[in-house]
Amino acid sequence: MAATEAERRAMRRALEIARTPGVPLGPNPRVGCVLLAEDGSEVAEGFHRGAGTPHAEAAALAEAGEAARGTTAVVTLEPCNHTGRTGPCAQALIDAGVRRVVFAQPDPNPVAAGGAETLRAAGIEVEADVLLDEARAVNRAWTFAVEHGRPFVTWKFATTLDGRSAAVDGSSRWVSSKAARLDTHRLRGLCDVMLVGTNTVEVDDPELTVRDEVDEPVEHQPLRAVMGLRDLPITKRVFNRRAETVHLRTRDPHEALAELFAQDRQHVFLEGGPTLGGVFLQAGLVDEVVAYVAPMLLGAGRNAVGVLGIASIAHALHLPVTDVTVLEGHDGEDTNVRITMRGN
């Protein structure tokens, strides 16, 4: 039986609570669950609050108690079928006496998949792929990482109109406006790794933390990763106690991503300079590009993108634009434009 309108409304609600702000990013996907009575009214709801906490289905079942019997569970991701830090959600739904399960996205993780078959074998009605695209969007990076065996890579850079990231004397503060910098912190907070090269640490000494509108570090910080063979002074700010830091001693972007994936990281925010960005682009490992364009001209200076080995316009790398947003300047600051593009 196809999903009813009440079930589709419940799925929209489940997707909404799956996005609840404040849930720390981690190895697990964001999931929401709504339990419906036979008349379509909501009985209970729950969402996953991070690794080691009850899954969305378990949270909803706990809220419902005995009222869960005979309900329809509307879940954004196929109920898991394995025992990890918590028990299998498919079995929990069976034990609770749920009558029907409607879910959006099949679980791409082979370790956890199979919940639908377990539910059907227990005599429970199952309907899949309801609002599938919306559910995949909620867990875009997690889904990509599971399906590709490596983290999703977003490369961010700031540039002048003539493609410069710094002036001839090396000065680069500030190519981007304050509004663009605040927006960058917002995007940093959506990732679980911030990656730079050793040269960026040596020259710019960035702290690589996510900060709020008053420039204070937020509670949950992504992993800071530094890539390269060079030894770095422990006094560099990237090694302070405000966040965890790992030194990836390789120049191979494939090796760097493999090491981060082995640490259960799904979304890398690449903030290195033009050389590191060029290395990842040439390797075909940039999945999204976010460029902040400032209305200024330098005429000379450091290029925003490193050497790509492109000698002819016929071989130019074309990046499909997915979003263009104007970031209004304040107090005399330039207005910047954020252009988001699909990578190569």
Query: Would you give per-residue pLDDT tens digits along the chain (344 residues)?
Result: 799 999 999 999 999 999 998 887 778 899 999 999 999 999 999 999 988 889 999 999 999 999 999 999 999 999 999 877 777 999 999 999 999 999 999 999 888 789 999 999 999 999 999 999 999 999 999 999 999 999 999 999 999 999 998 888 877 777 888 899 999 999 999 999 999 999 999 988 999 999 998 889 998 899 999 999 999 999 999 999 999 999 999 999 999 999 999 999 999 999 988 999 999 999 999 999 999 999 999 999 889 888 888 889 999 999 999 999 999 877 767 889 999 999 97
Which sequence positions are flagged as catalytic? 57
- DSSP letters spanning 210-279: -B-TTSPBPSS-PEEEEESSS---TTSGGGSTTS-EEEE--S-HHHHHHHHHHTT--EEEE---HHHHHH
In eight-state DSSP terms, residue 29 is P
Which residues, 6+ apart, have CB-to-CB distance to 71 below 8 Å? 35, 36, 37, 38, 43, 64, 98, 99, 100
**Cα–Cα distance, 193 to 265 (Å, whole number):** 7
What SS3 state is found at 147? helix
CA separation, residue 70 to residues 94, 98, 227 (Å):
10, 5, 53
| pLDDT computed for residue 52 by the predictor | 83
Is it true that the peptide bond before 155 is cis, omega within 30 degrees of 0?
no
| pLDDT computed for residue 135 by the predictor | 97
Which residues, 6+ apart, have CB-to-CB distance to 201 below 8 Å? 226, 232, 236, 238
In eight-state DSSP terms, residue 123 is T
Q: How wide is the angle at C-alpha 233 spanned by C-alphas 229 and 235, nearest 5°?
A: 145
Bridge pairing between strands 164-166 and 302-303 = antiparallel
In the chain, the domains with their CATH numbers are 5-138 (3.40.140.10), 146-342 (3.40.430.10)
**Cα–Cα distance, 319 to 44 (Å, whole number):** 44
Specify the DSSP element, H or E, that contains 281.
helix 274-282
| pLDDT computed for residue 168 by the predictor | 86
Q: How many residues does the chain have?
A: 344
| pLDDT computed for residue 157 by the predictor | 92
| pLDDT computed for residue 51 by the predictor | 82
Sheet containing 32-36: give its strands across.
42-47, 32-36, 72-77, 100-105, 125-127
**Cα–Cα distance, 108 to 298 (Å, whole number):** 47
